[in-house]
Amino acid sequence: MLCGMKSKKTVQLMMVIIGVISLCYGVIGIQSAPEDAHDYATLLGMFAGFGSGLIAVAIFLFIRSKVVSPEKLKQKEIEENDERNIAVKRAAMAVSWMVSVGLFTVLAFALMAMGLRVPSYLCIGALYVQFFSFLIAHRVYDKKM
C-alpha cells in the first residue's frame, strides 16, 4: 500500500512537471509568436491548455488525498484493485478499441473521398500503429502467460 502511495505521488509529481513545461512552452511561445501565425498560436494554446489541465488534475488528486478520510481512501483503493472492476474496465477497453478501429477506417475512407489525403494517411497510420501495438502486446502476453 505504501509502495502504491509512493508511485501515485511520483505520477502526480510527473504530471506537475510535464504540465509546467507544457504550460510555459505555450504561454512563452504565444507571446513571441508572429501576429499572423494563427495555426501556430492555436497549437501553443493547446500546449498551454494541456499543461494547465495536467496541473489542475494533479492538484485535485493531491487535495483529495489530504481531505478525504483514510477509510474512504482505503475503500477507493479496494475499488481500484477489485478484480471485477478490472475485468469490467478491460472489457470496456476492448469494445472501445474495436470502435476506434472502425472509426479510423471510416474516417480514412471519408477523408480520402473528401480529397483530404494527408489526414486520411494519418488515419491509416494510426490504424497501423494500433495493429502493430496489438501484435507486440499479444506476443509479450503470450510469452508471459
- For residue 83, state whether it binds another protein (rule: CB under 8 A): yes
d(CA 17, CA 120): 34
Interface residue with another protein among 63, 78, 91, 136 (CB under 8 A) is 78
Residue 34 · residue 72 · CB < 8 Å? no
| Residue 6 backbone dihedrals phi, psi, to 5 degrees | -65, -45
Part of the chain binding another protein (CB under 8 A), chosen from 45-53, 75-83, 105-113, 124-132: 75-83
Interface residue with another protein among 87, 95, 114, 136 (CB under 8 A) is 87
Part of the chain binding another protein (CB under 8 A), chosen from 8-16, 22-30, 82-90, 111-119: 82-90
Residue 1 · residue 77 · CB < 8 Å? yes
**Burial annotation 69-92 (CB, 10 A radius, 16+ → b, else e):** eeeeeeeeeeeeeeeeeeeeeeee
Our CB check for another protein shows the closer of 1 and 118 to be 1
- For residue 144, state whether it binds another protein (rule: CB under 8 A): no
- For residue 36, state whether it binds another protein (rule: CB under 8 A): no
Our CB check for another protein shows the closer of 91 and 136 to be 91
d(CA 58, CA 76): 17
- For residue 5, state whether it binds another protein (rule: CB under 8 A): no
Interface residue with another protein among 42, 81, 100, 105 (CB under 8 A) is 81
Residue 47 · residue 27 · CB < 8 Å? no
In the complex, which residues of this chain contact another protein (CB under 8 A)?
78-79, 81-85, 87
